[in-house]
Structure 1
Amino acid sequence: MTHYRTTTIDGLKIFYREAGDPALPALLLLHGFPASSFMYRELIERLAHRFHVIAPDYPGFGHSEAPSVAEFSYTFDNLADVVGKLVDQLGLKSYGLYMQDFGGPVGFRLATRRPDRIDFLVVQNANAYEEGLPDDFWGLARALWKDPSTANYARVREAAMSDEALAWNYTHGVKDVERIDPDNWLLQRALLARPGNKDAMAALLYDYKNNLPLYPVWQAYFRQHQPPTLVVWGANDAIFPPSGAYPYQRDLKRVDFKLLDTGHFALEELGEAIAVHIARFHDALSA
């Protein structure tokens, strides 16, 4: 059974979902943009019998507190700081990391800061390579990074946060749109309507540029520490296409690589299959 908890970190109320016996191996689920721990609602139930599962909402996301950009600096460094303090508060000495989309920059920061704590990685459409940022999708973001003008912010906000864009995030690349829960983008629409929340999201989209110089650092972590890694990647994703998935095989010796016939939010369509892959992968680690 999932529990819905709230704690305080650096004066902010941080929400997280928790399930499973704390004596079991820990698995930290890090969500993408502009999603929340809601994206893991079914995976948590599928894995709670074999993992102690924790899925937080970052500041500004989901049920966590959403301060204005004047009150909180929305950067990936700061998101990782908050999640890292949650990990410490919960007493997780070691854990697996499931990362999707924005979960990658958060999780890879945690991994490189404390590599001794990472038992394994599950990478699902979370990028760590320049090859994974195609210009046909990332052109507007790159223009913002080069020129953070009001006009470029407006273009990125419309492209990433319109009602149409929120639904498209979930439906592009899937085999059966009728299997995709529309509550996903309905919830996101409501949360983005909070005063100042779109500004917070835009600030993170701008800060995404600061992940690119860290790619070599993350890749060096892969090569040096060789964390066992399961790649389960939606092959039809236009945001983070498979060109960003293949390079993990270049740097990791123990990698289980699966391309799945679905889109960006692969759990919505193939969550049961991904849970099976995680169970099989973890069993192989324990063998």
Structure 2
Amino acid sequence: MLQEVSVTLALMIVLTFSATSCANDQLVYPLDVAVGPNEEVYIADRKLPGIWKVVDGKLEVFVKASKTFRTPLNAVRCVTVDSDGTVYVGDSSTREVYAIGEDRKPLPLSDGHIGIASDLLIDGDRLIVSDLETQRIWSLPKTGGEVQELAVIAGVRGLAHSSEGELVCVTTLEDPVRKIADDQTVSVIISGRPFEMPHHCVIAENEIFIADNYAGGIWKADLSGDTPPELIRSGAPLQKPVGICRFREGFLVADPHAREIFVLPSGEGEVTRLIKSE
């Protein structure tokens, strides 16, 4: 009996060490990805906890957070980067959005007003946040302050600006792609239920690209709504993509099940891994 207990304890120690080691040198559960002004890449990893940074294909910890729940950056879900290099992060463990500057210290912006931030979008001197908990899209100053309601829409996981600067959102509900006008009226761009589980999105010219976790791939759709969406990438190496952003002429995709950030070319080229193996 004592021998069995000793073996069990030894196995637990090995597993704990392995999990810690994994979190220190490779992605664990990446949900979102963003590109900085000098092509440095930031990754929101739900189970790091904290934020990764990739420069020239090399992975490093940008901010390491505590594993204690309700501490800053314990459960990050989304990330975006401003033109000045400021990193903005949504953290569900503290119901907050943070700004991270050169000192790498997270500065809270909403006084705990945001529940589960699923995506972030920079809009001039403001941030736009989709909130799965309150079923709303919020706006707040990038420096922090009063939070304003833009729309009441459940299930919004993706935000983007059209080429004309219009706010576009992607929801898991029926009529998944919608536009929010300046007067806060909401109109449908893509109707029905063409996607399985849409997450983040990005717009290039008049086309929207959407990561679909259940479909295991990336959709492309015309924002005019004249043609049905097309699943342009699916299958290996993609598994369950969630985050997507522009990168050079193509895209970066965060896939938590593959534990990878993939580089997708804009055309028919090969899907590759962003992070170089040692």
Q: What's the TM-score, normalizing by structure 2?
A: 0.30
Structure that is richer in helix per residue: 1
Asked which structure has the greater RCO (Cα within 8 Å, sep 6+), the reply is 1
The structure that has the greater radius of gyration is: 2
